[in-house]
Structure 1
Amino acid sequence: MPDINSALILLGVIVLLGLAFDFINGFHDTANAIATSVATRVLSPRQAVIMAGVLNFVGALTGTAVAQTVGKGIIKPEHSTQLLVISALISAIIWDLITWWYGIPSSSSHALVFSIVGAGVASRGWQEIQFDGVNKVLTGLVASPALGFAVAFMVMAILLWLFARAKPQAISRIFGRLQVLSAAYMAYSHGSNDAQKTMGVITMAVASYYGWSGSEWAVPLWVILAAATAMALGTAAGGWRIIRTMGLKVVELRPIHGFAAETTAATVIEVASRLGIPVSTTHVISSSILGVGATRRLSAVKWGIAGRIVTAWIVTIPACIAIGWAVYEVLHLLTGAS
């Protein structure tokens, strides 16, 4: 067992790593909130990034249901250790940086959750995992993109029917203005779901340090504010590699398409946040973009790029379990900690 001073130092390191993950998540997932509005030229990249950063911060302050799922729904609080938390964070950061470098819009959310699973298995075996919590995450993994595609398709079809006789210039003007609102809504919902995941994992470390039980587990205010700030700053830093994939390569977008995709995705994410389901904003906005593109014709969607995105989603789960397990084993060997 580490003494109280070394344990406190380790807690500080974990908090910094957690905030670093949140910052990386911010620039990794900036594309989710602003790619469509940049692609349709409704907002300049600079305007879109500033707006997304501010609304990510606001959204992150609106609840902790997702944080509770991540922080105490995957691993029991009394079995969580600082070594487990730091291993999961390092694993998720490694995966986020790999996918960012190659411009692959993978899921930061699932990278973190399945890194926790991998580190938990290395710590105590598969019996350590709370599969109800994992199933909740997997439900969101499957249902949220399916809903994004289907609802965006329907919303786009309704909009096309309603504005069938309108002039193209009028449609672009109307939805150019509306898309500013939908992009803001998307940025807000992104903060409400994604920032909470970091809140959950930092609180895991705090709970481990103080020995909290499940009934004592709660997200401190300073953790909420710190995570919200880190994500907002990361969003402001931008993630242009992924923006190019999300906004420009999947389907050609106009303001009406951007509005439909962003409004759909933000609503799916916001509902999930209130239900405490950690979903991937990348999954939801990607599938929503595909949904609106499919209303034009199936060939309008560049399915090769879409397939590459889906492959990244699938690979994230085993890759992060493996990386989380490996990082835990290495750190355990080097430190002798438990």
Structure 2
Amino acid sequence: MNRNPLDKELQHISGMNTASQALVQRTAAPGLAILFLALVAMWASASVGQTPAAVVVVIGAIVAGYMALNIGANDVANNMGPAVGARALTMPAALLIAAICEAAGALLAGGDVVETVASDLLVGLNIAPASFVLVMISALLAAAMWVHLSTFIGAPVSTTHSIIGGVTGAGIAAAGLSAVSWTDIFIIAFGWVVSPIAGGAIAALLLFLTQVAITRRMDKLRAARTWVPVFVAVMAGTFAMYLADKGLQRVWTPSPFTTLTIGLLAALIGWAIAFSGVRRRSIELENRKKHVATLFRLPLILSAGLLSFSHGANDVANAIGPLAAIVSTLSHGTAEVGTDLPFWVLSIGAFGISVGLALFGPRLIRTVGEQITKLNEIRAFCAALSTGLTVLVASALGMPVSTTHIAIGAVFGIGFLREYRSRQEMMRKSVPIYARFVDPRELNATPEMAFANAREADHRRLIRRRSVYGIMGAWMVTLPCSAILAALVFFIVSKFAL
């Protein structure tokens, strides 16, 4: 059947429109990011005025804005990924909540940890102020480039470790190996191992407790009325202490007793509110696991928002800490790291994280929430609560850890627990009672049986190994790659600037 030439022409035009819309979508986000950096340059220029060092400050502000964009694109996925993967939040709602909470955390409570970005790492950096400024710019640019590359390939990495690697590499390039506190580097490296294991173990324990206490009971709703308020109380107390101890350091530094008291009061209030809400909500639900899981939806959303607030308060220093050091050095004429943050510097980090999240965050949010293991409201809540608990304990012990590693480790731990229990259930159903005392290798009596058992075991894998290996590989190379990149940037920039 011959087609009308007009139909062919209309189809051709429709295809061109579709292609042009796809092109616009691909170029809109980078274009808006460039617009944001242009606004950062104008904001920095207006803030510092006509000073001899204005050009250097503006360049540093642009690089800090670039780093903030990448933090929003990569790091925030750890907080919102489980909630989106569990279908508790849509992607637009997650982006909106995270953007508001990240900006609020950065503006209201951010900036107290700026000094730790470089002062704890560079102990022998006795160089001229101009070289110190180049060290900070090189560290920022290298860290931002590495996080950008990691986001492009879909690997969630620690932006804290990226900026630490950048400061270390640029410091070595400027003053040699003696400029670096290797003890702190080794402690940080030790945290790479401890933090994801601790996060995964605590998340798996929480999930196991919810299964024993609620989802594996005959009367799930009755059990939920008792235990969901308890889990909410633990969440409320944990995040209250977390915010008091770490998230609000810039405006308030409570004593350990005060922090504990705040946690207990928050837990009591959280339990009372959840007790009433769960009883009222459970009347409308059926005695099924899927329905009971919805009782964790609101606590999950609240925990994700609180994690975002705390993340903004703490990790904004990764973007604007070196910029603050640059501004202080140029103002006082001596290389300085510890300094108070001007509001215009803090605002670049706060809004940069939110803009980066909105423009580039969905890809990493899907990676964390959907491409590691399947999540529902209960599993995602356990992952979020595990992250808060692990960071709080590590903070109390004085151990530097990565929130990224803990959050991803929590999702891994949940997946591995589900897989283990699934395999155990398979063994109970498929292996006769008399065969349970036989060497498992003797069950593969024939090649066909071995193939069938291997295929069944593969079907029981509830966590994607490829995602695990890829993310762990990115973690291992983050600090050395950002350090090497920072050293190269410093050598290149110093050839033209010094």
Same fold per superposition (TM over 0.5): yes
Q: Is residue 102 from structure 1 mapped to residue 153 from structure 2 by the alignment? A: yes
Relative to structure 1, is the Cα distance of residues 9 and 292 closer, same or farther in structure 2, using a 3 angstrom cutoff?
same
Q: Distance in 2 between matches of 1:215 and 1:19?
A: 19
Structure 1 residue 120, shift from structure 2 partner = 0.6
1:74 to 97, 118, 121: 121
**Counterpart contact for 1:193–1:269, Cα < 8 Å:** no
Q: Distance in 1 between matches of 2:313 and 2:118?
A: 16
Tell me which residue corresponds to 2:58. Answer: 12
1:120 to 167, 171, 187: 171
Structure of larger gyration radius: 2
Structure 1 residue 128, shift from structure 2 partner = 1.1
Q: Distance in 1 between matches of 2:396 and 2:341?
A: 16
**Counterpart contact for 2:110–2:346, Cα < 8 Å:** no
Q: Distance in 1 between matches of 2:114 and 2:200?
A: 26
Structure 1 residue 108, shift from structure 2 partner = 1.8
Q: Is residue 187 from structure 1 mapped to residue 278 from structure 2 by the alignment? A: no
Q: Distance in 2 between matches of 1:219 and 1:278?
A: 23
Q: Is residue 292 from structure 1 mapped to residue 338 from structure 2 by the alignment? A: no
Q: Distance in 2 between matches of 1:35 and 1:69?
A: 28
Q: Is residue 144 from structure 1 mapped to residue 195 from structure 2 by the alignment? A: yes
Relative to structure 1, is the Cα distance of residues 230 and 271 closer, same or farther in structure 2, using a 3 angstrom cutoff?
farther
Tell me which residue corresponds to 1:233. Answer: 355
Relative to structure 1, is the Cα distance of residues 70 and 189 closer, same or farther in structure 2, using a 3 angstrom cutoff?
same
Residue-pair matches, total: 333
Q: What are the equivalent positions in structure 2 for 1:1-338 lying under 5 Å apart?
A: 5-60=51-106, 61-76=108-123, 79=127, 81-163=132-214, 164-165=216-217, 166=220, 167-209=288-330, 210-211=332-333, 217-269=339-391, 279-298=401-420, 299-335=461-497, 337=498
**Counterpart contact for 1:110–1:317, Cα < 8 Å:** yes
Return 177-186 or 206-215, whichever deviates more.
Answer: 206-215
Structure 1 residue 225, shift from structure 2 partner = 3.5
User: Counterpart of 1:66 in structure 2: which amino acid?
Assistant: V
Q: Distance in 2 between matches of 1:269 and 1:227?
A: 22
Q: Distance in 2 between matches of 1:279 and 1:236?
A: 26
Q: Distance in 2 between matches of 1:218 and 1:271?
A: 28
Q: Distance in 2 between matches of 1:206 and 1:240?
A: 33
User: Counterpart of 1:54 in structure 2: which amino acid?
Assistant: I
- Find the residue that maps to 2:316 and give its secondary structure: helix
Q: Distance in 2 between matches of 1:275 and 1:237?
A: 36
- Find the residue that maps to 2:109 and give its secondary structure: coil
Unpaired stretches in structure 1, ≥5 consecutive residues: none
Q: Distance in 2 between matches of 1:146 and 1:114?
A: 22
Percent identity of equivalent pairs: 27
Return 16-25 or 185-194, whichever deviates more.
Answer: 185-194
Bigger relative contact order, structure 1 or 2 (CA pairs below 8 A, ≥6 apart): 1
Q: Distance in 2 between matches of 1:113 and 1:272?
A: 19
Deviations 1:105-125 (A, max 9, x none): 122221111011111111010
- Find the residue that maps to 2:418 and give its secondary structure: coil
**Counterpart contact for 1:193–1:278, Cα < 8 Å:** no
Q: Distance in 2 between matches of 1:202 and 1:275?
A: 29
**Counterpart contact for 1:197–1:278, Cα < 8 Å:** no
**Counterpart contact for 1:57–1:228, Cα < 8 Å:** yes
Relative to structure 1, is the Cα distance of residues 19 and 272 closer, same or farther in structure 2, using a 3 angstrom cutoff?
farther
Q: Distance in 1 between matches of 2:185 and 2:340?
A: 20
Return 145-154 or 194-203, whichever deviates more.
Answer: 194-203
Structure 1 residue 253, shift from structure 2 partner = 0.7
Q: Distance in 2 between matches of 1:216 and 1:26?
A: 24
- Find the residue that maps to 1:252 and give its secondary structure: coil
Q: Distance in 1 between matches of 2:190 and 2:62?
A: 30
Q: Distance in 2 between matches of 1:216 and 1:230?
A: 22
User: Counterpart of 1:92 in structure 2: which amino acid?
Assistant: A
Relative to structure 1, is the Cα distance of residues 269 and 251 closer, same or farther in structure 2, using a 3 angstrom cutoff?
same
Structure 1 residue 281, shift from structure 2 partner = 3.0
TM-score, structure 2 as length reference:
0.62
Relative to structure 1, is the Cα distance of residues 114 and 286 closer, same or farther in structure 2, using a 3 angstrom cutoff?
same
- Find the residue that maps to 2:364 and give its secondary structure: helix
Q: Distance in 2 between matches of 1:59 and 1:144?
A: 23
User: Counterpart of 1:312 in structure 2: which amino acid?
Assistant: A
Return 23-32 or 227-236, whichever deviates more.
Answer: 227-236
RMSD (Å) for aligned C-alpha atoms: 2.5
**Counterpart contact for 2:111–2:316, Cα < 8 Å:** no
Relative to structure 1, is the Cα distance of residues 283 and 255 closer, same or farther in structure 2, using a 3 angstrom cutoff?
same
Relative to structure 1, is the Cα distance of residues 142 and 64 closer, same or farther in structure 2, using a 3 angstrom cutoff?
farther
Relative to structure 1, is the Cα distance of residues 239 and 276 closer, same or farther in structure 2, using a 3 angstrom cutoff?
farther
Relative to structure 1, is the Cα distance of residues 273 and 225 closer, same or farther in structure 2, using a 3 angstrom cutoff?
farther
Return 235-244 or 274-283, whichever deviates more.
Answer: 274-283
